[in-house]
Amino acid sequence: MSTAQNMSEIGIRPPHYRLSASAHVGRVRLAVSELERSVAFYRDVIGLAVLREEDRMVQLGAQGGGRVLLELQEMPGVSAIGRRTRLGLYHTAFLLPSREALSSFIRHLAKLGVPFGAGDHIYSEALYLTDPDGLQVEVYADRARDQWIFEGREIVSATGPVHFETMPVVAEDSWQGAPAGTTVGHVHLYIGDLKAAEKFYVAGLGLDVVTWRYPGALFTSAGGYHHHVGLNVWAAGSPVATEQDARLLFWEMVLPDADEIDRAAASLALGDFDEIKAENGARAFRDSWGIVVALVLEA
């Protein structure tokens, strides 16, 4: 095992097109059953700020910033889902800018009495919550890259306990909402088959596979990150999310320029994936389980 690693030497590259190293996840849009209830959760518990309100849709982002991270769209007839009962979204993962911010968030959850899970993944420490519609949420902080562990070209991932006693000491009232610099670090998806997912997300979209020996999962990314898209079969056998379910409507892959969008779209089309229009008007593609990725420009 090793720690320090040249980012260009990480992972298994896609066979043809490879995403720009600057590619990253943008906004996520969710279909929810009760807008007011969901906004309250993402505002008061997760700490996002309401940026704009439209007819049956609210956009949220970090405190003091204008970038939209999450869109909540109320849709008639949508119902909450149970754990691991639908293929589609596993969780939306909000990346905090520091371990101090994560420590503040932990104190905030304790003060509210909100239940959560936790996991130390070596490259990050993460908390897991469930929104009012049964959709999962991760809030995490990365460790510095020189603390990540590698086996050859693979980034080692694990799930161990978070040692809360080692968290930075912060003031009782230090949490003032998701701080500036908070992003959607990754999305993690329930899919039905890893080989079929690899065809879309790696051979098509152009992500590298950076972790492949974690049971039932592949972790994929651009630029040597630990993952921008997690893929797992932990809910395999469950039905695909339908129009009656709370669900992921689309997520954005942010690319540096229009030429890069053209190349990504051409690669996906070469894999026999049909181009569609996302609900935000962007060029988009749908995987085998109805999950839509929209290709958008860096703002």
**Cβ(137)–Cβ(173) below 8 Å:** no
Q: Is the pLDDT of residue 5 over 80?
A: no
Residue 15's H or E segment, with its range, is none
d(CA 91, CA 128) in angstroms, rounded, equals 9
**Cβ(223)–Cβ(265) below 8 Å:** no
Q: Provide Rg for the chain, Cα atoms.
A: 18
**Cβ(202)–Cβ(208) below 8 Å:** yes
Buried b (16+ CB within 10 A) or exposed e, 130-152: bbbbbbbbbbbbbbeeeebbbee
Mean pLDDT for the stretch of residues 20-29: 97
Residue 278's H or E segment, with its range, is none
pLDDT on residue 55: 87
pLDDT on residue 2: 65
d(CA 41, CA 91) in angstroms, rounded, equals 15
Q: Is the pLDDT of residue 184 over 60?
A: yes
Q: Is the pLDDT of residue 101 over 60?
A: yes
Name all domains of the chain by residue range, CATH numbers in brackets: 7-247 (3.10.180.10)
Confidence of residue 71 (pLDDT cuts 50, 70, 90): very high
Mean pLDDT across the chain, nearest whole number? 96
Q: What are phi and psi of 178, to 5 degrees?
A: -60, 115
The dihedral built from the CA positions of residue 214, 134, 112 and 99, taken in this order, carries a sign that is positive
Alpha-helical segments (H) within the chain: 35-40, 99-112, 194-198, 258-270
Q: How far is CA 247 from CA 42, 132, 141, in A?
A: 15, 12, 25
Picking from 98-102, 141-145, 196-200, 280-284, which range would have the lowest pLDDT averaged per residue? 280-284
pLDDT on residue 69: 98
d(CA 85, CA 83) in angstroms, rounded, equals 6
**Cβ(91)–Cβ(128) below 8 Å:** yes
Q: How far is CA 238 from CA 18, 128, 289, in A?
A: 31, 21, 11
DSSP class per residue in 23-69: -EEEEEEEEES-HHHHHHIIIIIS-PEEEEEETTEEEEESTT-----
Structure tokens at 196: 């079929």
pLDDT on residue 1: 61
